[in-house]
Amino acid sequence: MRSTLQEFKTFAMRGNVVDLAVGVIIGAAFGKIVTSLVNDIVMPPIGKMLGNVDFKDLYWNLDPGKLLEGKEPESLDQARQAGAAVIAYGQFLSILIDFLLVAFCVFLLVKVLNRLSRKKAEEAPAAAEPTTRDCPYCLSAIPLAASKCSHCTSDIDPVGQAAGAKG
C-alpha cells in the first residue's frame, strides 16, 4: 500500500502532470470568460441590431400543437415546460461563436509562442569553431596549431597531416 501511494505521489508530481493540471484549470477559467464575453457582450448588440432578438429564445418548435396554459409558448423555457420538442438554434449559435472565439485565441497564443521560439532559435549563438583536433597516431585531442603530439610525441603537421613517424 505504501509503495502504491509513493508511486502515485511520484506520478502526480511529475512536471508534465502538474503542467497539464494547471492548463486544464486555466483553460476552464478562460472558457468561462469567453462564454461571458459571448453571452453578455457580443450577442446583445447583435440581437439589438436584428430587432431586439434574444438569442437564448431562438428556437424551432417541432410540436406546434403543444400549448402551455392554453397559449403557444413564447420562449424556449415555456416550450420546454409544455413538453414540446424544440431545436434551440439560438443557444447553438451562441456556443458556436463561443467556440470560434476560443479557437481564435488559441490560434493567436500558438502564433505568438511560435514567433518567440523562432526568435530564440535565431538568437542562439553559432557553434564555436573547434580549437582542437585528433592526433592521427594516438587519436588524443591536441591544439589545432600543434606540431607535436603531447601524448605520443609524434611530429604533426599544423594543418592536420602527419610530417613524421613516432619518435
My answer on whether 32 and 106 are in the same domain is yes
My answer on whether 76 and 94 are in the same domain is yes
My answer on whether 30 and 90 are in the same domain is yes
Residue 155 has pLDDT above 80, yes or no: yes
Domain assignment present for residue 2? The answer is no
My answer on whether 151 and 105 are in the same domain is no
My answer on whether 62 and 31 are in the same domain is yes
Backbone angles phi, psi at 133, to 5 degrees: -145, 170
pLDDT at 159: 60
My answer on whether 114 and 134 are in the same domain is no
My answer on whether 46 and 98 are in the same domain is yes
My answer on whether 109 and 135 are in the same domain is no
Q: Tell me the mean pLDDT in the region 21-28.
A: 88
| Rounded percentage of the chain residues whose pLDDT exceeds 90 | 4
Classified as helix, coil or strand, 125 is: coil
My answer on whether 36 and 88 are in the same domain is yes
pTM tops 0.85, yes or no: no
Residue 36 has pLDDT above 80, yes or no: yes
**For residue 54, which of 83, 80, 89 has the smallest C-alpha distance?**
89
Provide the number of structural domains found in the chain. Answer: 2
Single-letter residue type at 101: L
Q: Which residue has the higher pLDDT, 133 or 165?
A: 133
My answer on whether 146 and 107 are in the same domain is no
Count CB neighbours of 140 within 10 A.
13
Domain assignment present for residue 18? The answer is yes
Average pLDDT, the chain: 83
Residue 165 has pLDDT above 70, yes or no: no
**For residue 133, which of 144, 125, 121 has the smallest C-alpha distance?**
144
Q: What is the pLDDT of residues 87-109, one digit of tens each?
A: 999 889 888 988 888 888 888 88
**For residue 135, which of 163, 160, 159 has the smallest C-alpha distance?**
160
Q: Which CATH number belongs to the domain containing residue 48 in this structure?
A: 1.10.1200.120
Q: Tell me the mean pLDDT in the region 144-167.
A: 71
Whether 98 and 34 have beta carbons less than 8 Å apart is answered as yes
Domain assignment present for residue 1? The answer is no
Q: What is the pLDDT of residues 41-63, one digit of tens each?
A: 888 898 899 888 888 888 888 88
Domain assignment present for residue 40? The answer is yes
Q: Which residue has the higher pLDDT, 64 or 147?
A: 147
Q: Which domain holds residue 54?
A: 10-123
